C-alpha cells in the first residue's frame, strides 16, 4: 500500500492506484478504493472516505473554505467528479463529471445524475435522484440497494486489482459474492 504523509490514515483500504495523490488530513476507510489519477487534498479541515467507498478515475476531492469533505460508506464517486467541501451520506452514487460544492449535503441512498452541479449549501434529502445545473430533486426513490451493489462491485474489483487481476467479473468467486450481497440486502429490505 502507498505511503502518504503523516496525517493520512489508511484503515485497510482494498486498493489504491499508484497514481493517486493524497495530501493533508485524510481518512480512507476499510475496503475503500482510490482509482487512477485521484487527487485528494485537505490543507485545513479534513477529508473522510467511508468503508467500501470507491473514488474512481480522475476524481478531485478538496475541502471547502469552511467545510470538510465527508463521504459515507458504500458510495461510488464516479469518473471526473469534483467534490469540494461537501457531505455525502451512505449508499450514494455520484454520477460522472458531477460537481458538489461547499456545504452541500447529499442524503443517504441518493443518486446525483452525471454532469450535475450541486451548488453551495444545497441540501438533498435521503432517497433522492437529482439532476441538472443547478441540481434539483427530480424523483424520490430508495436507491440504497442498487448503490450498495455498485459499491460491492467496485470493492470486489479493487481486491482483484490489488492482486493484479483485471478481469474479476469472469471469476466464479465474484459472481458468488455479488449474489450473496444481493441476497443479504433484499432479505433486510
Burial class (CB in 10 A: 0-12, 13-18, 19+), 114: middle
Hey, how many other C-beta atoms are within 10 angstroms of the C-beta on 178? 16
Residues 30/12, Cβ–Cβ less than 8 Å: yes
146 Cβ neighbours under 8 A, 6+ residues apart = 93
Tell me the C-alpha distance between 56 and 115, whole Å.
15
Is the pLDDT reported for residue 52 higher than 80? yes
Residues 126/148, Cβ–Cβ less than 8 Å: no
Q: What is the pLDDT of residues 26-51, one digit of tens each?
A: 999 999 999 999 999 999 999 999 99
Mean per-residue pLDDT, 137-160: 97
pTM listed for this prediction: 0.96
Question: Which domains does the chain show, CATH number per domain?
Answer: 8-140 (2.160.10.10)
Tell me the C-alpha distance between 168 and 157, whole Å.
6
Is the pLDDT reported for residue 189 higher than 90? no
Can you give the pLDDT at residue 72? 98
Is the pLDDT reported for residue 3 higher than 80? no
Mean per-residue pLDDT, 76-103: 98
Residues 130/113, Cβ–Cβ less than 8 Å: yes
Distances (CA, A) of 74 to 7, 33, 45: 23, 11, 23
Q: What is the pLDDT of residues 70-83, one digit of tens each?
A: 999 999 999 999 99
176 Cβ neighbours under 8 A, 6+ residues apart = none
Is the pLDDT reported for residue 1 higher than 60? no
Provide, rounded to the nearest whole percent, the portion of the chain with pLDDT above 70. Answer: 98
Amino acid at each position: 500500500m502507498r505511503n502518504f504523509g503523516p496525517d493520512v490514515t489508511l484503515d485497510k483500504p482494498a486498493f489504491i492506484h499508484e497514481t493517486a495523490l493524497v495530501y493533508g488530513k485524510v481518512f480512507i476507510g476499510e475496503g475503500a478504493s482510490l482509482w487512477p489519477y485521484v487527487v485528494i487534498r485537505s490543507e485545513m479541515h479534513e477529508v473522510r472516505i467511508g468503508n467500501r467507498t470507491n473514488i474512481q478515475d480522475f476524481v478531485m476531492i478538496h475541502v471547502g473554505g469552511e467545510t470538510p469533505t465527508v463521504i459515507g460508506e458504500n458510495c461510488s464517486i464516479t469518473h471526473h467528479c469534483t467534490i469540494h467541501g461537501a457531505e455525502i451520506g451512505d449508499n450514494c452514487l455520484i454520477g460522472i463529471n458531477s460537481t458538489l460544492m461547499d456545504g452541500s449535503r447529499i442524503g443517504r441512498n441518493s443518486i446525483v445524475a452525471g454532469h450535475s452541479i450541486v451548488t453551495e449549501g444545497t441540501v438533498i434529502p435521503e432517497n433522492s435522484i437529482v439532476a441538472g445545473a443547478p441540481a434539483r430533486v427530480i424523483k424520490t426513490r430508495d436507491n440504497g440497494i442498487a448503490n450498495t451493489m455498485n459499491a460491492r462491485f467496485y470493492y470486489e474489483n479493487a481486491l482483484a486489482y490489488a492482486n493484479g487481476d483485471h478481469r474479476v467479473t469472469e471469476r466464479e468467486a465474484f459472481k458468488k459474492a455479488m449474489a450473496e450481497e444481493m441476497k443479504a440486502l433484499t432479505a433486510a429490505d
